[in-house]
Amino acid sequence: MAKTSFQDVYIDNKGQFYYEVSLGNDKITGKRIKKKGRRNSNGKKFTTAKEAYTEAIRIKSDYLQSEGYYNYDMTYEQYMNTVYLPYYQSEVSEHTYATRKPVIKLIINRFRKKKLKDITVREIQNFRTWLLSKKGANYSQAYAGLTFGTFRKSLDFAVDMQYLQKNVSLKVKAIPKGKTVAEYWTKNDFEEVISNICISDFYEHLCFVMLWLYFCTGVRVNEGTAIWWNDIDFDKKELRVSHMLIMLNKNNWQRQNHTKTDSGLRIISLDDDTIQILKAWKERQSKLGKVNFVLSYDGNPMLKSTISRIIKRYAKLANVPLIQAKGLRHSHASYLINELNASVLIVSKRLGHSSPEITLKHYAHMWSGVDKELANEMTGLINIRYAENTKINFNGNQALLRESPKLSPKS
């Protein structure tokens, strides 16, 4: 080994250049940190001492930026903005990232200036209590669980990337999601709702079509807003679900050519009533000119907030339960199960679930009443007859023997 004129660069007995840099002592373990290499970031061997020196400088710089001493004073906000969020955004869909932004903002605000390494178990426990406490955020158990789980995952990643030795949040009990039963409309509720809609009015006609489409197909909210007319085959009576809409406002949206999951890509059979309703709306909407979106009155897609307002308006008029936009999807599941006695396989296919187990996880309670007809059919199937005389010698309680009533055989 021979030293070159470049700092931290050496040449071995075979004439190969290499670097060996010292990155100081680890402030947690106290061990000396060294790094040695004979190739650049592209995997090519160094041909000159200067190439090895350039790589050594890069190694030092990267270390100080990502895993060096500077990061022992990194705040939680710095860590989230420079490390975790770029990673998280690359791992999830744009839609998922957008829906998680409020949760992420809340967490950052909570631990903003706190040094990552200095976050304590007590502070984490206080955060957990605040999420659930009536005097604190008073979130639902589901939302509190999502928030706390997101925070915990951020610290997990800090451990993976060696910003922390351990995730102290694991010492605090997780917040279980709990069981929540989403509100939905029954068939009678839905009939009451649409009876309050005057379709001679253009906008109300759109409201009717929107409610009908969601109730009778069970598509997800952002799947329904993404449907174009060319997704509907009127001859085959089919709806192709292959897109979802990511929308911030009327002028800022993106129609993505995939759904929430791979199993969400599906074809839904349409009944004759739905076909006729869609045809009538298409003809009326065409007076605006060429419009791609089925659910549109001006060429632009419908906002989720608009769907929620429509539901609220007609739920109040019809005096039926107020449901969320996704409640129309649950309503479709209820309609299939309770009115049509559909099997779990059919419900799973129409809803675009990856497996019947997912369907049962969400809707098993809806099948609780479908066995009533079965119970009625069981009545009288078993021929009941009793023995006229006992055939066993019972040596039990004599008082019981004296008081036992005699049963008559079925006539």
pLDDT band at 411 (very low <50, low <70, confident <90, very high): very low
DSSP H/E element including 246: strand 244-249
> Which DSSP category does 45 fall into?
B
**Strands in 277-397 per DSSP E:** none
Indicate the pTM of the whole model.
0.64
Residue 69 confidence (pLDDT): 42
| Phi, psi of 326, rounded to the nearest 5 degrees | -70, -10
Closest CA to 26 of 66, 74, 72: 72
Cα-Cα-Cα-Cα torsion 149, 151, 155, 160, nearest 10 degrees, comes to: 60
Percent helix, strand, coil in the chain (nearest 5)?
50, 10, 35
Alpha-carbon distance values, 57 to 7, 20, 33, 62, 166 (Å): 10, 11, 15, 9, 30
Q: Which residues pair with 18 in a beta bridge?
A: 10
Q: Is 187-369 a CATH 1.20.58.1180 domain? A: no
Q: What residues contact residue 49 under an 8 Å CB cut-off, 6+ apart?
A: 4, 5, 6, 9, 11, 17
Residue 41 confidence (pLDDT): 82
pLDDT tops 90 at residue 311: yes
pLDDT tops 90 at residue 189: yes
Residue 226 confidence (pLDDT): 95
What angle separates helix 141-160 from helix 121-132, to the nearest 10 degrees?
A: 160
| Phi, psi of 38, rounded to the nearest 5 degrees | -120, 0
> In terms of C-beta density within 10 A (0-12 exposed, 13-18 middle, 19 or more buried), how is residue 10 classed?
middle
CA distance 326 to 328: 5
pLDDT tops 80 at residue 178: no
pLDDT tops 60 at residue 381: yes
Q: Which residues pair with 3 in a beta bridge?
A: 10
Alpha-carbon distance values, 246 to 82, 300, 303, 306 (Å): 25, 13, 10, 15
pLDDT band at 198 (very low <50, low <70, confident <90, very high): very high
The gap between the terminal CA atoms of the chain, to the nearest Å, is 108
> Which DSSP category does 410 fall into?
P
Residue 405 confidence (pLDDT): 60
Please tell me which residue, 114 or 397, carries the higher pLDDT value.
Answer: 114
Residue 392 confidence (pLDDT): 80
pLDDT band at 211 (very low <50, low <70, confident <90, very high): very high
CA distance 11 to 1: 6
Residue 146 confidence (pLDDT): 93
3-state secondary structure of 251: coil
CA distance 169 to 127: 10
User: What is the per-residue pLDDT across 335-359, written as a single tens digit (0 to 9) for each?
Assistant: 998 888 888 999 999 999 988 888 8
DSSP per-residue letters across 175-191? ------------HHHHH
Residue 70 confidence (pLDDT): 46
